[in-house]
Amino acid sequence: MRLQLYLDAPERVPFDYLPTLKSAFHRWAGHDEVLHEGLSLYSYAWLRGGRAGRGGIHFPEGASWFISAPDEELIHELVSGVVRAPEIGLGLRVADVRMQRAPEFATGEQPFRVAGPVFIKYETDRDQPADHLLPGHPLADAQLTATLCHKLRQAGLDDTGAAVRFDPAFIATAKTKLFRYKQVQCRGSICPVLVSGSAEQIQFAWEVGVGHSTGIGCGALV
């Protein structure tokens, strides 16, 4: 299920707004150690509708944002949280909220665009900085697939046959995105992906996103 939020944004929003979105999500969801500390079986997009300029992003017609999760109870809890406290921070306030059911997917391979950079963190040595894999790297697709399969198993679902890969038609023109979460610099990619598997597995990917750090705004799918 997906929660579509439409926001009033009268002020210029700083570029590093992701921690504010994360704080709002957890405030609305309530105290839940699994959500705070566990594997992120949910995803949310970056803000849409803005124009970047000096000092931040301007949203002349308001911003839109979405949060997705396979757990309908969590989505309903978020709605209740939004009603109680529509203020997000940075001048952002929820003006309208709507729930969206997942599309009817078919078994096979489904193309998706991304609503946030796809982030793949790959560690070979704990004493060395992790690599951030981008489209075209020989290990990127395998890491995307491994992460989705891990989340499927964590949710109690069969991971047989599930796979994710960057769409090869877009790899040559894919853009990279350097972003900062708190004090950590991360590099992700804006590149469509292809998700293969059963209808249930594809819907799950639509809800939880792809790659790492979906709990801080990476890898949400549209």
Report the CATH number that the domain containing residue 128 is assigned in CATH: 3.30.70.1900
Same domain, 20 and 95: yes
For residues 72 and 38, membership in a common domain is answered with yes
Residues 29 and 45 in one domain: yes
Q: Tell me, what amino acid is at 22?
A: K
- Helix, strand, coil % over all residues of the chain, rounded to 5: 25, 30, 40
Whether 71 maps to a domain, the answer reads: yes
Residue 32 has a pLDDT of: 67
In this prediction, residue 125 has a pLDDT band, given cuts at 50, 70 and 90, of confident
Whether 159 is in a domain gets the answer yes
Of 58, 81, 100, the residue that ends a domain is 100
Q: Per the structure block, which two tokens stand in for 22?
A: 């994360």
The answer to whether position 211 is within a domain reads yes
- Is residue 40, in this structure, part of any structural domain at all? yes
* Number of domains the chain contains: 2
Domain end position, chosen among 100, 127, 157: 100
Same-domain status, 144 and 96: no
Residues 96 and 151 in one domain: no
Using one digit for the tens of pLDDT, what is the confidence trace for 50-72?
Answer: 999 988 999 999 999 999 999 99
- For residue 26, the enclosing domain spans 2-100
pLDDT beyond 80 at 26: yes
CA distances from residue 21 to 65, 92, 148, 217, 221 in whole angstroms, order as listed: 10, 10, 23, 8, 17
Mean pLDDT, residues 107-125 taken together: 94
Show Cβ contacts of residue 118 under 8 Å, excluding neighbours closer than 6 positions: 144, 166, 188, 189, 190, 191, 193, 210, 211, 218, 219
Tell me the CA distances in angstroms from 216 to 111, 143, 170, 181, 200, one per residue in order.
23, 18, 25, 8, 24
Same domain, 124 and 90: no
Supply the CATH number for residue 9's domain: 3.30.70.1890
In a domain, 209, yes or no: yes
Residue 221 lies in a domain: no
CA distance linking residue 154 with residue 13, whole number of Å:
35
pLDDT range class, residue 36, cuts 50, 70, 90: low
> Which residues are CB-contacts of 13 (< 8 A; sequence separation ≥ 6)?
47, 50, 56, 57, 58, 59, 63, 90, 91, 92
pLDDT for 184:
79
Q: Are residues 160 and 189 in the same domain?
A: yes
**Mean pLDDT, residues 159-173:** 98
Residue 108 burial (C-beta neighbours within 10 Å; 0-12, 13-18, 19+): exposed
Q: Check residue 52 and give its pLDDT.
A: 94
Statement: residue 115 has pLDDT above 90: yes
> 10 Å Cβ neighbour count for 48?
13
Could you tell me if residue 38 is inside a domain? Answer: yes
Cα–Cα distances in angstroms (integers) from residue 134 to residues 129, 166, 171, 188, 218, in the given order: 16, 9, 9, 7, 13
Whole-angstrom distance, CA of residue 189 vs CA of residue 219 = 9
Q: Minimal CA–CA distance to 34: which of 73, 80, 81?
A: 73
